[in-house]
Amino acid sequence: MLFFSFFKTLVDQEVTVELKNDISITGTLKSVDQFLNLKLDNITCNNDTKYPHLIAVRNLFIRGSTVRYVHLKKESVDTNLLQDAARRGML
Amino acid sequence: MSQAQIQQPHHQQQPNKNVDALSQGVEDLYLESYAFTTAAGIVGSVDRKVFVLLRDGRNLFGILRTFDQYANLVLQDTIERIYLPNNRYAEADRGVFLIRGENVVMLGELDIDKEDTAIEEMVQMPFNEADKEWEALNAERIKLETQRAKKLLKVSGLTSDFVKSDLY
């Protein structure tokens, strides 16, 4: 649940989601759920040759199981807090 | 006032109060957590034109009619589209789809004013030809990735996360 809560604090921030098929999608994080499915608004795709229709997409629901990385801005993560929470979760 | 007098109305009211407090609490909890559920993520796209990318690489375009907490989806008037190299594409009518959630990679709501801009510059070709070519490309890719995975494992002990069923 820790990362679910963590992602909830990132709502309305700009994130880049890298999928397991190597494409990256940048957008404003709008929602996240228990499976870490992500909902993005105002998306741009860094290589839209593979899925050219993405330019016509307003908002995108990405299934958590297909995500490899989520790139975040440095200032949007309180690493100390996250570390504390992670350790408390281990106990 | 004796204690008994004070307690009596208290006892009578308590059950009602408790029920109210409880149901109020549950409702708050429900509304608060609803914003971060799968349902909340998808509900806005119901009855809209969406595209769904499946794990096997297929692109489906249709009207989202319903869904559940696993992102199982029902699409109506679905069209399957294949993109091929050199600006070519193909489409086929597929009707109603019930998609099992595990096969969904992403689901996007389409701006119907802009949905065709991607294929305006492309040439449409017959679907069965495109499908054959696409299958061949996939077979090629599976071959390459399997070779690569073997090499990675042998040379550096690394594993590749390529799965044959994941062709998106």
DSSP assignment string, B75-130: EEEEEEEEEETTTEEEEEEEEEEEE-GGGEEEEEEE-TTTTTHHHHTSEE--HHHH
Task: Give all domains of chain A, ordered by start, each with its CATH number.
Answer: 2-84 (2.30.30.100)
Within 8 A of A34 by CB-CB distance, chain B residues are 36-38
The model carries a pTM of 0.80
What is d(CA A34, CA A57) in angstroms, rounded to the nearest whole number?
A: 24
Tens-place pLDDT, residues B38-58: 888 888 899 999 999 999 999
Tell me if B71 and A61 make a contact (CB, 8 A cut-off). yes
**Which residues on neighbouring strands pair with residue B109, listed in sequence order?**
A59, B50
- Residue A18 CB neighbour total at 10 angstroms: 15
Tell me if B110 and A8 make a contact (CB, 8 A cut-off). no
Question: Given this model, what pLDDT does residue B26 score?
Answer: 56
Q: What is the mean pLDDT of each run of 10 residues along chain B (168 residues)?
A: 47 49 55 74 90 93 93 95 92 94 93 87 93 93 90 88 79
Best mutation target among A3, A33, A54, A69 (most B Cβ atoms within 10 Å) is A33
Residues of chain B whose beta carbon is less than 8 angstroms from a beta carbon of chain A are 35-38, 40-42, 44-45, 51, 53, 55, 59, 61, 71, 81, 83, 101-102, 104-111, 114-119, 122, 161, 166, 168
**Per-state percent for chain B, helix, strand, coil, to nearest 5:** 45, 30, 25
Question: Given this model, what pLDDT does residue A42 score?
Answer: 92
What is d(CA B161, CA A20) in angstroms, rounded to the nearest whole number?
A: 8
Best mutation target among A50, A63, A66, A69 (most B Cβ atoms within 10 Å) is A63
Residues in chain A with pLDDT < 50? none
Question: Given this model, what pLDDT does residue B167 score?
Answer: 81
A68 Cβ contact partners less than 8 Å away, ≥ 6 residues apart: A18, A19, A20, B161
- Residue A15 CB neighbour total at 10 angstroms: 19
Structure tokens at A58: 């307003």
Structure tokens at B91: 């489409």
Question: Given this model, what pLDDT does residue B20 score?
Answer: 53
Task: Give all domains of chain B, ordered by start, each with its CATH number.
Answer: 38-124 (2.30.30.100)
Complex ipTM, two decimals?
0.87
Nearest to B53 by CA among A63, A37, A26: A63
